[in-house]
Amino acid sequence: MIPLLKMAFRDLGRNRRRSFFSSLALAIGLALLLLMAAIIQGEMGSALDATIRLQSGHLQIRAKSYDESKTSLKWDDLVENPDQVAEQIASLPPVTVATPRLFASGIISVRGESVGVRVFGIDPLSEANTPYRLGLISGEFLTPDDREGLLIGQPLADKLGLKAGDKISLSVNTSNGDVAEQLFAIRGIYSTQTNAFDSVTVFLPLAKLQTITQTENHASTIFVLLKDSDQADAVAAALLTSDYKVLTWEKMNELIVQYEDMANAYMVIFYLIVLAITATVVVNTLVMAVFERTREIGILSAIGMKSRRIMAMFLTESSLLAMGGIIMGLILGSLVVAYFAKYGFYIGNFGITGMLIGNTIYAELTLKDTINLTVLAFVVTLLAGLYPALLAAYMDPVEALRGVK
């Protein structure tokens, strides 16, 4: 093995520039793959985290007949005595916070312009509202006894030219199918850096929304955050009753999981395409080496070197090229991923329907992706070196001594 390594190093050193650029091509390809894997992981992780924090929670407890798509406000479709139910759930050790929320469809009207919104009735004192409270960019947060104030997102405020303190008219559906309208003051403007959420979501104190929608002492759901998301199934099983249905974050976010699986499947194809392109550089390097060393190969064959050893020599060269490219690729890829992990990709208003993706995607590279891509790059490069190795191994010694194939 040692003699083969010495010969491989010597042969690659004959044309150092060509060998370097072959390894560099593999390095750039691997770095690109690491960056793409980190972006996909960051995008999916960000979307899932944002959806859990802002919208779904780890668990939701709802009435069995509640129809989310219709934002039902019928009493039979709502959770009765939600404060009491939330207090019981919050007493469980795995639970961080449990709070009632009421959802309604509404229309904001100002200066002759109307926009459809989702209205969230929240308990302003609950820790579950931390993302909205921390995201407050002007004005002040709601208080439980506020009856004339609301919060709107920055994209919606910018669209309608509104600021904290302005008055707007809000119309919402009620439990009996009517429409109630009231003039509200904008107490504050928030931003969660998730345009798809901020542009359509308006917050009211739970008590006020219950009053205006005629759903007193009822809520659409009990929003639950856990200390560990892996405990969701166990807690859901413990909370399961005949009166309510319990939804886990996985069930509520099936679209994100399905999209991640689909994205990963497409990325495998992309990975193979990139590696195939870089592998052609390695093939070209080794094929040129075969033709340049035709007489040498003939001499080695003439003095008794077996075909499999000649093949092993060229496979060793491709392995060295692969290792050099992988080492450079890991270094280059780590630097690029580290940069985008800190500063991210700003995508602005771009998003996918049904998913909450932040305005900025931060790269997130996992150890699993790093190992898988490193192994894949090495295997593809080794396979790429198989053709030149076979070409050299089965070259006719007599013709090789003459300097022709």
Mean pLDDT estimate for the chain: 86
Q: Are residues 38 and 82 in the same domain?
A: no
Q: Choose the final residue of a domain: 242, 266, 281.
A: 242
314 found inside a domain: yes
Q: Are residues 271 and 390 in the same domain?
A: yes
Q: Are residues 47 and 70 in the same domain?
A: no
249 found inside a domain: no
Q: Are residues 277 and 373 in the same domain?
A: yes
Q: Are residues 128 and 36 in the same domain?
A: no
Question: Averaged over 83-90, what is the pLDDT?
Answer: 93
248 found inside a domain: no
Q: Choose the final residue of a domain: 209, 242, 275.
A: 242
Q: Are residues 94 and 185 in the same domain?
A: yes
Sequence letter at residue 147: R
250 found inside a domain: no
Tell me the pLDDT tens digit for each residue of 270-315.
888 888 888 888 788 777 777 766 776 677 676 667 777 777 777 8
Burial class (CB in 10 A: 0-12, 13-18, 19+), 299: middle
Report CA 9 to chain centroid distance, whole Å: 42
Q: Are residues 121 and 147 in the same domain?
A: yes
355 found inside a domain: yes
- Give the pLDDT confidence score for residue 313 in this predicted structure: 78
CB 22 within 8 A of CB 288: no
Tell me the pLDDT tens digit for each residue of 40-86.
888 888 888 888 999 899 999 999 888 887 888 998 899 999 999 99
CA distance 368 to 108: 47
Q: Are residues 222 and 260 in the same domain?
A: no
Q: Band the pLDDT of 202: cuts 50, 70, 90.
A: very high
CA distance 243 to 76: 11
Q: Band the pLDDT of 326: cuts 50, 70, 90.
A: very high
Q: Whole-prediction pTM value?
A: 0.76
Q: Are residues 264 and 378 in the same domain?
A: yes
Bridge partners of 185, per DSSP, are 149, 167
Q: Choose the final residue of a domain: 242, 264, 286.
A: 242
Q: Are residues 215 and 320 in the same domain?
A: no
- Give the pLDDT confidence score for residue 353 in this predicted structure: 47
Tell me how crowded residue 262 is: count the other CB atoms within 10 A of its CB. Answer: 10
In angstroms, the Cα distances linking 108 to 166, 200, 204, 211, 268 are: 13, 10, 13, 18, 45
Q: Are residues 128 and 199 in the same domain?
A: yes
Domain total in the chain: 2
* pLDDT tops 80 at residue 7: no
Distance from the first to the final alpha carbon of the chain: 27
- Give the pLDDT confidence score for residue 396 in this predicted structure: 62
Token duo for residue 3: 């003699």
Which domain covers residue 366, as residue numbers?
A: 2-51+256-401
Q: Band the pLDDT of 405: cuts 50, 70, 90.
A: very low
